[in-house]
Every structure is written in C-alpha cells, then in structure tokens.
Chain A
Amino acid sequence: MMDVGETMAWVVRHTLRTCLRGMALAGAAVAALPLFVASVVCVLLLPTGLGVVLAPKSLLAVRRQAERQRRWALDWSGVTIAAPYRSRSAKPSNRLTRVFRRCGWVLGDPATWRDLLWTLVNVPVSAVLGLLPAFMLVAFTWTVVDDYGTVVDGWGGVAPRGFLLQVFLLSMLPAYAIAGPWLLKIRAIASSSLLAPTRKEMAARVGELTESRWDAVDASAAELRRIERDLHDGAQARLVALGMNIGFAEQMVRENPDLALTLLAEARESSGQALSELRALVRGIHPPALAERGLDGAVRALALSLPLPVDVHIELPARPSAPVESAAYFAIAEALANVVKHSGANRAWAQLEHDEGRLVAIVGDNGAGGAHPRAGGGLQGIERRLRAFDGMVAVTSPPGGPTQVTMELPCELSLART
C-alpha cells in the first residue's frame, strides 16, 4: 500500500511538472511571435525577389515550431495531431529552379498558413491555459501559508477556523493535480483545430494512397507472374531434361558407354545453364550482394560490374529498413542501366545520402542528355517503384547532357550499421 507521504510527494511532483509544462507552452507561444512577424514581412517582400529566398526559410521555422507543438501535444496530453504537410517533389539540380520550387512548395501548402495563424492564436490560448496551473499553485500556496500564519498567531485562542480551512485546502491538492493536465489537454485539442490536417486533405491523401497501393499490388503480381514463367520455361525445364539424360545414361553406361558419356556431358551443360538462369532470376528478386552487404555494399558492387566507370559516394550513418533498401537499390540499378543503354556516356556517378528523414539517391552521367520518361520506360518503372514508399523521382536532362536522375524516399535509419 502506498503511504500518505508517498502519495503527497507524487501529487506535488505531478503538479509541479504540469506547472512547468504549462509555462513552457506559454513561453514558446510568446517566443514564436517574432517568427510570425518575420514571416509576414518576408511574404510582403515576395515581389522584390528577396522574399522568394527568405519566406520559405521563415515559414519552415514556423513549421518546425508547429511540429514541436504537435510533439508536446502527444507527449504531454496524449493528443495525436497528424502532420498535414504536402510532400516535396524531388530536388532539381538547377539551383534557381530549386529555390522557386521550394518557395512554391512551402507557400502553396494551406497547412503553412494555418500554422502561421496558429502562431498568433496560440499566444492568448497558451498564455491563459498554460499559465493557469501555475497560477492555481501559487494562489493555493499563498493561501495555505497565509492561513497557517493566522493559525499560528491565533493558536493560543479558540478559533480553529484557519486550521480547518488549511485541512480543506490540503485535501483539494489532488484536485489541482488533476485539473492541471486537463487544462493542458484542452489547449492541445484547441491547437489541433489549426494544426491537424483538414478533412479535405485527409481525403486527398487517402485517394493518393489507394492509387499507389493498387500500383504496388499490380506491380508485385506482375513480378510474380514473370518469375513463375521464367522458372517454368527455364530452370524447371532444364532440370527435367537433366534428369532424363542422367537416367538414360544410367541405362546406356554398359551397352553404349560412348552414348552415355555424351548424355552426361549434355546433362552437365544443362545444369550449368539452369544455374545461370536461376542466378539471373535471384538477382531480379533480391540481389545477393544486397542481402550480404546492405544498400551501401550492393550499390558499390553494382557500380563495379558496369562497363563504364561509376564514381560512388555514399553517406549513410545506418541502414534503412529492408523494403526501402530494396526499392532504392532497384531504382538506382534501373537508373544506371539506363545510363549504360541510352546515354552514350563514358562516366557516371551515383550518390546516396540521408537528409531530413529522406533517402536521397542521385544517378548522373556525362552522356548525350535529352532523356525523358516515356510510357513503359525505365524512368516510369522507377517512379512506380518509389511511389509505393511515398518517394519520387526527378530528371534533368538538357540536350547535350549531363543527365541527372534524383530519387527520394522518406525513411528512418533504424537498424544499426553492420
């Protein structure tokens, strides 16, 4: 059984924590005000061109601050607020295009403006709801101490009114401990009115996910059909011929040793072909180097096996999850295969890094350029592969080159590097 002292200690700790959190919320709300002002100024500066560079920076700072609010709502009040932001298109290699693309991405997202509005609304809401627990605690303590003084002063007398009041107030302490978190929760729910995705955004997202899921299901079904056909017409058929030849040779070995030898040689040939077909098939399903070395090693191994020199630059502090590794590998392999097949380049490069929660892969070459996605082409295959992971692909390929394919997919690096 928990004794009274322990219970009191818990209540006090709990109350103090709530007060501190409320003060942090109020403080953060006020501290974000300059960001609001800066953002408004930057947006007003848009026509001068300076705003094109500054506005996304400032609005992204607002976004980071809103993300922190979402995190606190979840951690402190158990209120889940999903991030409503639109995903970014892949980085184009041209610097100027990148700046404008980024500006369009940030300013075109309605969630940006709701975040900004919340930064303003948040000040009174958090000031009141956030500071109320602390205010209650101060008021309470003051009353108790003051009354206690009165009680001590009047201890010689007969009036225990102060004492009774003190007992009453002390018994109310648990109520404060409970009321505080509720105030913070109300604040969190209020914040979700602007910080959470709207119904329309959710619906659009569901539509997008449904489509990409069907694409993924379709692609994997087609893949399985292809594997079945390859096995059926390839390795399986060869193994049948192999068994037949060996069986026949077994019968012939005494009466016609020459024929038996020919049959056995054919059987050996057949086993070699079956193996090389199986090897090609396995590479298409899950490349052995990927299983053995992860994405880093597999991309390096791939680069070495190509007929042109490929500069590989990989910076991954840890390994992505297996499905992401596989998708990224095949996307890079497809891009490099395109380089070999179409570009006429004599040099290529592959870069891989993890940046802001995204795996970014860039494959480039110094070839003829002029590459563009066409139906059923390699680039479209890459796009479909990555879309199942909310990833995307962008191509810059001016006539005369160089061609650069940028592929991005969101991912956390969870597994420790092996």
Chain B
Amino acid sequence: MRVVLGEDLTLLRDGLVRLLSAYDMEVVAAVDSGPELLRALIDHRPDVAVVDVRLPPTFTDDGLRAAIQARLEVPGLPVLVLSQHVEQLYAKELLSAGTGGLGYLLKDRVSDVLRFIEAVRTVADGGTAMDPEVVSQLLARHDRDQRLARLTAREREVLAFMAEGHSNAGVAARLVVTEKAVSKHIGSIFTKLDLYPAEDANRRVLAVLTYLNA
C-alpha cells in the first residue's frame, strides 16, 4: 500500500514513517508543508494520504485545505486527517469535498497502534474512520435527520461504531453480541435509511455519510 504523509514535526513524521513501514505500507513521500503536500498527492496518487491539519506555511489549516483540494482534483483519493483537536466543522467540510475513503482522527489515536493501522486500511479501502469524539458530539445532538430518528438506540450505537470505522466483528466485540446480531442491525439500518439493496460496502458508506451529514 502506497502512502503519502504530510506532517511538519520531524519527531512525529519519522515515527509515523517507521510505524507505517512496520505494517507493510510504503511511504512514497513524507512532506512538511501544505503546497508540497498538494503536489505530492497529485503526483503520486497514493492509496491513502495521512495528513496533519496544521502545516506550514501559515500554520493554520494548510494541511486540511491541501487535502480538500487534492480530493477535488483526484476523485476518490482516500485521506486520513490527523489533528490535535477535532471540529465538527472540519469533518463536514471534508465530507462535502469529493468522494472516497475518509478518516478524521485525533493524533492521540496513533498510540493505539493496531486500531490506527486498521483505520488507515479502512480509509484506503474507501471506508470512513471518524474519531469517537466527533461521533459522540453527533450523538449528543437532538436535531437529527428525520430518517435517523427512526433508528432504535441500539441501531444508532451500531451506526456510530460504523462511523468510527469498525468492522462488523469489531462492532460485535464492543457491544458484546454476535456478529450475526450486528448484521441484522445493519440490515435494519439500511432499510430505515432508505438504502436499497446495492453493493454492501457502498451502502455501508452511504449509511455512515447520512449519519455524519445530519
């Protein structure tokens, strides 16, 4: 799997390169500024981009803007955005710009190595990996989509785990139920969200998008 990495802090950049390489991912470019990142993403067209929100030259949201721009120019480019803080606003902006796998995680999550690598792979495969903090803020809101209101509490829980990028097995383990039960919930979620039979992975993404965009 080919990865482009955008991170300006040397310590973190080298650490991430080491970490990703250890799990058979090839870091084809590791850059430290917004403009360089955009160029690298367009030149290399990696299987997944791992991007820090705050980068030079302005040290504001250069990384985020480069990622959004790249997704518009390279349709379907999977991007995993890392940050010291998560904002619903940024999640919304990322979701509304382009298609393809999308992740948005706090940098802290890197310390759970296996979970982080799973997230990188999920995003590369076209899935979503939203930080639990984004998801929990969404759960706390009561102005949700009409369709989401039809879901039971359990189904909402399952959908939240899906948004965080967990597989059916992962959701089952966290809810301490069987995988079969999870599949049943997911089927019910698809029906209630008016997602008619299509390719399963695709419906999964659409369900999550409905949830995140509400």
Contact = CB atoms under 8 A, between A and B. Distances in A.
Binding partners A and B:
yes
Interface of A: 268, 271-272, 275-276, 279, 282-283, 288-289, 291-293, 297, 300-301, 304-309, 346
A282 B89 CA distance: 18
A385 to B, nearest CB: 22
A37 to B, nearest CB: 55
Given A291-B60, A292-B54, A292-B60, A305 B108 contact: no
A300 B108 contact: no
Nearest to B89: A301
A271 B143 contact: no
B108 A289 contact: no
A103 B38 CA distance: 58
Contacts of B106: 275
A309 B141 contact: yes
B88 A279 contact: no
A309 B143 contact: yes
Contacts of A276: 108
A288 B87 CA distance: 10
A268 B141 contact: no
Interface string B31-64: 0000000000000000000000110000011000
Contact of B141 (A288, A297, A307): A307
A53 to B, nearest CB: 41
A307 B142 contact: yes
A292 B107 CA distance: 17
A268 B137 contact: no
A156 to B, nearest CB: 82
A289 B90 CA distance: 9
8 contacts: A275-B108, A288-B84, A293-B89, A301-B87, A304-B87, A305-B87, A305-B137, A346-B142
A279 B85 contact: yes
B85 A308 contact: no
A268 B111 contact: yes
A2 B60 CA distance: 53
Nearest to B144: A309
Contacts of A279: 84-85
Contacts of A288: 54, 84-85
A163 to B, nearest CB: 72
B89 A289 contact: yes
Given A292-B53, A292-B61, A308 B142 contact: yes
Interface string B114-146: 000000000000000000000001001111000
A268 B142 contact: no
Contact of B88 (A268, A272, A282, A305): A305
A88 B61 CA distance: 38
Residue of B85, B137, B141, B143 with highest tally of chain A CB at under 10 A: B85
Contacts, number: 53
B54 A272 contact: no
Contact of A289 (B87, B107, B143): B87
Contacts of A301: 87-90
A309 to B, nearest CB: 4
Given A283-B85, A304-B89, 15 more contacts: A268-B112, A275-B107, A275-B108, A276-B108, A288-B54, A289-B87, A292-B53, A292-B54, A293-B89, A301-B88, A301-B90, A304-B88, A308-B142, A309-B141, A309-B143
B92 interface: yes
A272 B111 contact: yes
A305 B91 CA distance: 11
B88 A289 contact: no
A241 to B, nearest CB: 15
B60 A293 contact: yes
A279 B112 CA distance: 18
Contacts of A291: 60
Contacts of A300: 89
Nearest to A310: B143
Contacts of A292: 53-54, 60-61
Contacts of B90: 301
Given A268-B111, A307-B142, A346-B142, A293 B61 contact: yes
Contacts of A309: 141, 143
A275 B142 CA distance: 29
Contact of B85 (A272, A282, A306): A282
Contact of B89 (A283, A297, A307): A297
B183 to A, nearest CB: 31
Interface in B137-182: 137, 140-143
A305 B84 CA distance: 16
Q: What 5 pairs across the A-B complex have the smallest Cβ distances? A: A304-B88, A309-B143, A301-B89, A292-B60, A307-B140
Contacts of A268: 111-112
A300 B88 CA distance: 9
Given A279-B84, A288-B84, A292-B61, A272 B89 contact: no
Contacts of B142: 307-308, 346
B97 to A, nearest CB: 16
Nearest to B61: A292
A307 B111 CA distance: 29
